[in-house]
Amino acid sequence: MSIAFDQSLILRIENAKTNTEVLTRMCEHLCEKEIVKDTYCEAILERERNFPTGLNTHGINVAIPHADVCHVNKASLCVAVLEPTVDFHAMDEPEDAVAVSLVIMLVLTEPHGHLEMLQKIVGLIQNQEDVKQIIAAEDKRDIEMVIRRHLLET
């Protein structure tokens, strides 16, 4: 599965108040690039309400939202660095809020691709030094390099 990812799919989202605002901005960006269908935004928001994606890493927290493959035109990743953090509901404890700094949106076209990519994301999250590097990066090239190394190189 070929997954598109470049600096144009890395966003810095400042002063967002809610996870809905963060996800909407990311979805709108993907829609403008025609990577997703116009149904994608509602699908991702609905999925987030039913199956929260915040991960408490006991370090820099991450959210990994995705929607069904039927809403996607082209497989890709969209990454957002949040400043300040935004609360997402926890994946394992939906009643709990997790202050998220990094959102890695999976925009995949093959249903089985989510599991493989989630495993790679777990590997990235476990390397908190690399996550810190993403959050602190001034240049999107640095973020792209870390994401590619962990998620896109075999």
Which strands sit side by side in the sheet containing 76-89, from one edge to the other? 10-14, 76-89, 97-107, 61-63, 54-55
Q: Which helix (H) or strand (E) holds 12?
A: strand 10-14
Residue of 29, 58, 66, 71 marked catalytic: 66
Contact 54, 97 (CB under 8 A): yes
Contact 77, 107 (CB under 8 A): yes
66 is catalytic: yes
What's the rounded Cα separation, in Å, for the pair 2 and 74?
A: 9
What's the rounded Cα separation, in Å, for the pair 11 and 49?
A: 22
21: its two tokens = 């605002």
User: Which residue numbers are catalytic?
Assistant: 66
